[in-house]
Amino acid sequence: MVMYEKTAEHFGQKFKDLPEGHLLVNLGPSHPATHGILQNVIQIDGERVVDTESVIGYVHRCFEKLGERYDYNQFLVCTDRMNYVSTPLNNIGWILTVEKMMQIQVPDRVTYVRMIISELSRIMDHIICNGIMGVDLGAFSGLLHLFHHRENIYQILEKLTGARLTTTFCRVGGMERDIYPEFQSEIKLILKGLKPALDEFEELLIRNKIFNERTKGIGGISAERAIAYGFSGPNLRAAGVAWDVRKDDPYMFYDKVDFDIPVGEDGSALDRTLVRMEEMRQSMRIIEQLIDGIPEGPYHADVPHTFLPPKDRVYHNMEELIYHFKIIMPGVKVPAGEYYHATEAANGELGFYVVSEGEKSPWRVHVRRPCFWYYQAFPEMVKGGLLADTIATMSSLNVIAGELDC
Amino acid sequence: MKEKLTEFIQSQWKDSLLPQRDINTNLLYFSIQKESLPTVVQTLKDHPEFAFTFLNDLTSIDWLGKREPRFEVVYLLRSPKNNHFRFQLRVPVGEGESVPSIAGIFPAANWPEREVFDLMGIPFSNHPRMERLIMPDNFVGHPLRKDYPLEGPGQDYLIEDLLTIHVEEDITG
């Protein structure tokens, strides 16, 4: 058996002749502060970072290749495993792309629920990013304080989809099942508890002197460089650029709800944390506008050739059984063509580029994942800083290995 | 925006434009010769009116058995100034040919170009560091190519075969 490995030459050439007194530090691939399998080989002079080499690919599963074998509903399972901190956002991004290609118009009820779940996922993601950042800098209580509320959101997802982490939310043409009766009241209860918790978290962690001094002005990037590196999402907004796919290229009903885009000033670790804090509040604002107005009606579009019939009817009726096999065996038929659809995921612009030849599986799937683009700038962001600051920079960037390698 | 850009590109680079295929897509796109790619990208980036200052996406398609030439590198540019308008530049590439890198124009193109080289096997010339990015250095082949088996090289068996081998094996020794 051949052992495939990242060889020493991969980064050895760059660090061949180290000056006297310089050291190479290997941060990762398995390190408590990297959250995922990321490797950084850092050349240090005393405590100062001279140069960094990021080695990626440890979690690469080549979903783009799998996408050429799977059918359109099956690929949904792959999207679960991209950004595993906020899975429904990836699911919805993929489903919207396929629906746009097939020109399916889903009922308003579906779009409302999708938007609410999207924003809940964004809150989930930002809780992890900001909470874990505190943990990396030595403050454990902030994460635990918010994690209770994240758990509540997980329970909603569990009731809605049957899974907590790999939700596989939505199907082409609607949702797998309808929402349950207490859906609205439970979400309202979560928001009621989350609001004061966020304020407490801010007082506990972000106004803390130690946290402030360790993040203020650390790992900054200018707006110009951030755009040049293809940044998007909260990390770009922290640098002072108010771009948001939800506003710039609205999908679902984002053009009909009120929300603000928080921006930072210097793109430092503190700014990224603050932008994420404010985004959580804006997400709650969006949910509040939607939660009472979920319209009655079916939970899927009227597309029997695309949407799987409910299981209880499949087992007892001939018609539904036939439809079930007609969908499962040849797959969902997407007309030949190409489509690029961008959504605002928790980390930035998540785009799905699909090339279809009218067959069961796409001819080519490409995922534009935000992490992959902004992680390139990491060596530039930590250059000249202290070694300990690389931890703060990396945590605040929220690099998710599953999304980075895809 | 669409009409203006089409007119501009058609008048500026008449000789480099290749005939368009009819694609059912939501994006405006142009097929251009690979030699003129850096000029086109640089001009559109610096142009005061169009200002395509953001490289949105960079990927490639393998058309094995469908079209000639075999590969196509796809660039997605975005103009934040013009209401975040997106359009595609498509560069057809044959087997073994290289494409001029645009990493000097957009630093963002560095990793995506390495990814395309790594997974699809299309090299980029003038790239600061044309090496594998995601796959290990001693890996053979390019996984995203259509002729690369999903199960791995030299292992083009099916799951059923694997099960049979396993059952027939004498485990008692």
pLDDT band for position A34 (50/70/90)?
A: confident
Is the pLDDT confidence value at A290 over 80?
A: yes
What's this model's pTM, rounded to 2 decimal places? 0.91
Helical packing angle, A269-291 and A183-201, nearest 10°: 150
Phi then psi for residue B32, to 5 deg, are -130, 160
The alpha-carbon gap from B112 to the nearest alpha carbon of chain A, in Å, equals: 8
Contact yes or no for B27 and A363 at CB 8 A = no
Is B24 at the interface with chain A, CB within 8 A?
yes
pLDDT of residue A127 exceeding 80: yes
- Residues 6+ away with beta carbon under 8 Å from A327: A305, A306, A307, A308
Mean pLDDT score, A41-68: 89
Which residues on A lie below 8 Å from B135 (Cβ)?
A: 4, 57, 60
Which of A267, A262, A87, A47 lies closest to A170 in space, CA to CA?
Answer: A87
For an interface test with A, the pick among B57, B82, B151 (most A C-beta atoms closer than 10 Å) comes out as B57
Residue B161: pLDDT over 60: no
* Confidence check: pLDDT of A9 > 70: no
pLDDT value at residue A12: 60
- Interface-testing mutation among B56, B82, B89, B146, with chain A (most A C-beta atoms within 10 A): B56
Asked if pLDDT for residue A10 goes beyond 70, the answer is no
Question: Poorest-confidence range of A1-15, A118-132, A169-183, B100-114?
Answer: A1-15
| Average of per-residue pLDDT across A53-60 | 88
Sign, CA torsion B30/B33/B36/B38: positive
Quickly count: other Cβ atoms within 10 Å of residue A324's Cβ: 18
Please, are residues A133 and A277 in contact by the beta-carbon 8 Å criterion? Answer: no
Is A336 an interface residue toward B (CB < 8 Å)?
yes
B71 Cβ contact list (under 8 Å, min separation 6): B60, B61, B62, B63, B92, B93, B94, B95, B120, B122
The alpha carbon of residue B141 is apart from the nearest alpha carbon of chain A, in Å, by 12
* ipTM score of complex: 0.90
Looking at residue A19, what is its pLDDT? Answer: 82
d(CA B63, CA B49): 35
- Taking only residues 339 to 358 of chain A, the set having a beta carbon closer than 8 angstroms to any beta carbon of chain B reads 339-342, 349, 351, 353, 355, 357
Q: Is the CB of A383 inside 8 Å of chain B's CB atoms?
A: no
Q: What is the mean pLDDT of residues B88-111?
A: 93
A268: closest CA among A172, A356, A382?
Answer: A382
Tens digits of residue pLDDT in A187-222 = 999 999 999 999 999 998 888 899 999 999 888 899
Average pLDDT, chain A: 89
State the smallest CA–CA distance between residue B53 and chain A in angstroms: 8
Tell me whether B137 touches chain A (CB under 8 Å): yes
Neighbours of A62 (CB within 10 A): 18
Please judge whether B26 and A100 are an interchain contact, meaning their C-beta atoms are less than 8 angstroms apart: yes
At residue B101 the predicted structure's pLDDT band, cuts being 50, 70 and 90, is very high
The reply to whether residue B56 touches residue A368, judged by beta carbons under 8 angstroms, is yes
Mean pLDDT of B131-141: 85
> Which residues in chain B touch residue A9, judged by CB atoms under 8 angstroms apart?
137
Per the CB < 8 Å rule, is A7 touching B26? no
Across B119-148, average pLDDT? 88
Q: CA of B26: which chain A residue's CA is closest? A: A339
Average pLDDT over every residue of A47-72: 89
**pLDDT class for B153, splitting at 50, 70, 90?**
low
- Rounded Cα gap, residues A42 and A270, in angstroms: 23
Q: Is the pLDDT of residue B157 over 60?
A: no
Alpha carbon distance A268, A382 (integer Å): 11
Check B59 against A353: CB less than 8 A apart: yes
- Chain mean position to CA A109: 24
pLDDT in tens, A131-184: 999 998 888 888 898 998 999 999 999 999 999 999 999 889 899 889 999 999
The whole-number pLDDT of residue A382 equals: 92
Give the containing element (helix H, strand E) for A127.
helix A108-136
Q: Which residue has the higher pLDDT, A90 or A310?
A: A90
Tell if the CB–CB gap between B66 and A69 is shorter than 8 Å: no
pLDDT over 70 at B159, yes or no:
no
Q: How confident is the model at residue A8 (pLDDT cuts 50, 70, 90)?
A: low
Nearest CA in chain A to B76: A340
Is the pLDDT assigned to residue A5 strictly greater than 80? no
B155 to each of A64, A216, B143, B151, B159, how far by Cα in Å?
20, 53, 13, 6, 10
Give the pLDDT score at A222: 92
